[in-house]
Amino acid sequence: MSKVILGMSPEGTAILGDSDAQDIHTYYCPMSHATGPHAPTNAQANADITKAEIEAKLTGEISTHTHAAGPAGGPWTSTVYLSTLNFSTSTSALAMPGVSFAVSTGVRYRFDFGIVFATGISTTGIKLSALFPAASTFAATAKIPIAGDGPGGELQGWITTSGDTVIGTAIQAASTKYFAKIEGVIIPSADGTLQPTYGSEIAGSAVSTFAGSYGILTMY
């Protein structure tokens, strides 16, 4: 009697048997394998997986946003971007849409805000600040271009309280993009929002912030 291939073993080798169909169950039964149990009896059904469980496992950038692991998952970094041009002639503090972070009490964070800006005239600078909830520790430095290349080309100031401002007194050239920065650390004592703000040094004189400005928040 000739031999035929009755199926494949789990290791990938062919299982041979006599051509008599009664021999099939002696060697291998593909249908019995296909319909038999494969998952543990306590396995979670796909339909029962929650959105929160999925979010907890996702990290990295997806399309236009990021997923950051929670504090229980260890250190993480989240990034946000400014995608539109913003314009103001006010000395009041203005937020940049989308450039902010929710922060939680008792968690250690390091932050870095990069602001691409320009002013309408060279004798007007940009005003920078940060708003944040109550914190047991907060310290930040702002760095603002105010002149041409060289030791006097950058103004540095310190943000020590929410809304504390650092004010640039000029820029090298009007209507030219420059890069300013706010960086520091925070350990909130209350949940809240951390966000940079900007304004004009002089009321009625235009200042703009541009797409490409960003925020980076790192839990450590």
CATH number, domain with residue 132: 2.60.120.760
Structural domain including 22 reads: 3-35
Split at pLDDT 50, 70, 90, the class of 49 is confident
Say if 155 falls within a structural domain: yes
Q: Is 63 a residue whose pLDDT tops 80? A: no
Q: Are 98 and 81 in contact (CB under 8 A)?
A: yes
Instruction: List 207's β-bridge partners, or say none.
Output: 88, 119
For 136-155, how does the pLDDT look when each residue is reduced to its tens digit (9 = 90+)? 999 999 999 999 999 999 99
46 found inside a domain: no
In a domain, 45, yes or no: no
Give pLDDT tens digits for 90-104. 999 999 999 999 999
The answer to whether residues 116 and 183 belong to one domain is: yes
pLDDT value at 122 more than 70: yes
Per-residue model confidence (pLDDT) at position 114: 98
The CA–CA distances, whole Å, from 86 to 45, 184, 203, 211 equal 48, 24, 16, 9
pLDDT at 120 over 90: yes
